[in-house]
Amino acid sequence: MNNRYTPFGYCISNRAYTVVPQEAEIVKRIFLEYLTGESLKKIAAELTEERVEYLPQKSQWNKNRIVRIISDVRYLGDEDYPAIIDEETFLQAQSVKNKRNTQTEYDRDTVISPSVVTIICGKCGCTTKRVHDKRSKFGQKYVCTNTQCKSEYKISALAMIRMISELVKSENLMLSDTPDDNEMLEIRRMEQEIRRAIDSPDTDHEKTRAMILECAKQKYQAASKGRANFDKLEQNLGNADLQINRQTVTTLVNQIRLVSDEEIEITLINGQVIGKEQENGADT
């Protein structure tokens, strides 16, 4: 057994995530030691020396394991996970992590921008741009590029990551392996064109045959792509250690729709749309 199926600090009891007190204390200790200046390497070495088990009979800790815990927004608590760490402590840890990392890799991991994934306005559907705004408490905002709309969304990068994490890790999420809407629209357009060609009294049989073969090819490719994307999503979203950041958003999400400052809707790589309504079963 090389991977945990629940985050460190939690277990499943009566079909719900509950806190494991001994592990939760270790999580709190990791945050505290990190904030008081301990290095990732030293924290990992101490836990290994004390034989603290991360997995049953596995007590080998490393820097990556520590940083995953420090970066995991689930410790803040949500609809599924009870809180272990308060928001102030979590944000302080992210700030320390960003300052320590001279390559700023982890700082970039918390930035979700239009250069990473398409982010559209929830009011008009046009694209948005991320701009700096000193008057905003987050120091940034997303502005609609449509000059007739210009809607603004004041949402922090951390909040967006938390929202995406909650949506893709919802217990009610049912993945679909069907092709996305744009591909299906193109296939339906081709089918209509084929029907018109067949019904025409001046049918060009060779041209019609070529159209039928091309349509069949498009259907096969769409189905294959849909299945491949489904498999990728299923594999990633079934991993309890999955961290939602810049890289995973690029891998799993095609589009983010900003509904308000406190709500988003995402389109996965298989074309499936997930939002609060879908999550609650109001829109299936």
Instruction: Give dist(CA 208, CA 213) in Å, integer.
Output: 9
pLDDT at 27: 96
Residue 20 sits in a domain of what CATH number? 3.90.1750
Q: State both tokens at 101.
A: 């990392």
CA distance 254 to 90: 28
- Of the three residues 75, 107, 139, the one that is the final residue of a domain is 107
Q: Say if residue 226 is in the same domain as residue 144.
A: yes
Report the pLDDT value the prediction gives residue 58, as an integer from 0 to 100: 86
Tokens standing for 35? 């904030």
Domain assignment present for residue 29? The answer is: yes
Establish if 117 belongs to a structural domain: yes
Tell me: do 155 and 93 sit in the same domain. Answer: no
Query: Closest Cα to residue 109, out of 100, 119, 98?
Result: 98
User: Which of these three, 107, 133, 162, is where a domain ends?
Assistant: 107
| 121 shares its domain with 23 | no
CB-count burial class (<10 Å; 0-12, 13-18, 19+) for 34: buried
Task: Check: CB of residue 106 under 8 Å from CB of residue 72.
Answer: no
Answer with the one of 91, 107, 123 that is the final residue of a domain.
107
Strand partners, 264: 258
* Residue 59: DSSP 8-state: -
68 lies in which domain range? 10-107
User: Same domain, yes or no, for 102 and 121?
Assistant: no
Radius of gyration of the chain (CA): 23
Tokens of 63: 């820097």
Whether residue 121 is found in the same domain as residue 247: yes
In a domain, 3, yes or no: no
Three-state DSSP at 252 gives helix
Same domain, 23 and 46: yes
What SS3 state is found at 13? Answer: strand
H or E segment and range at residue 173? none
Look at residue 228 and tell me if it is in a domain.
Answer: yes
Domain count, the chain: 2
Note whether residue 224 is domain-resident.
Answer: yes
Give the orientation angle of helix 181-199 with respect to helix 205-237, to 10 degrees: 160
Residue 54 and residue 172 in one domain: no
Based on the domain organization, do 178 and 200 belong to the same domain? yes
> Rounded distance, CA 250 to CA 112, Å?
9
4 lies in a domain? no
Task: List the beta strands (DSSP E) in the chain.
Answer: 10-13, 16-19, 118-121, 128-132, 140-144, 152-153, 253-260, 263-268, 273-274
User: Quick one: 49 and 125 in the same domain?
Assistant: no
pLDDT given at position 182: 66
Same domain, 208 and 233: yes
Q: Which residues of the chain have pLDDT under 70?
A: 1-5, 101-113, 115, 134, 136-139, 170-184, 218-242, 276-284
Q: What is the pLDDT of residue 46?
A: 93
Q: Which two tokens stand for residue 12?
A: 């499943």
Question: Do 95 and 152 lie in a common domain?
Answer: no
**Residues 94 and 129 placed together within one structural domain of the fold:** no
In a domain, 1, yes or no: no
Burial of 36 from C-beta contacts in 10 A (0-12 / 13-18 / 19+):
exposed
Q: How many whole angstroms separate alpha carbon 30 and alpha carbon 70? A: 8
Cα 80 from Cα 162, distance rounded (Å):
13
Q: According to the model, what pLDDT value does residue 2 have?
A: 44
Q: Residue 156 domain-assigned? A: yes
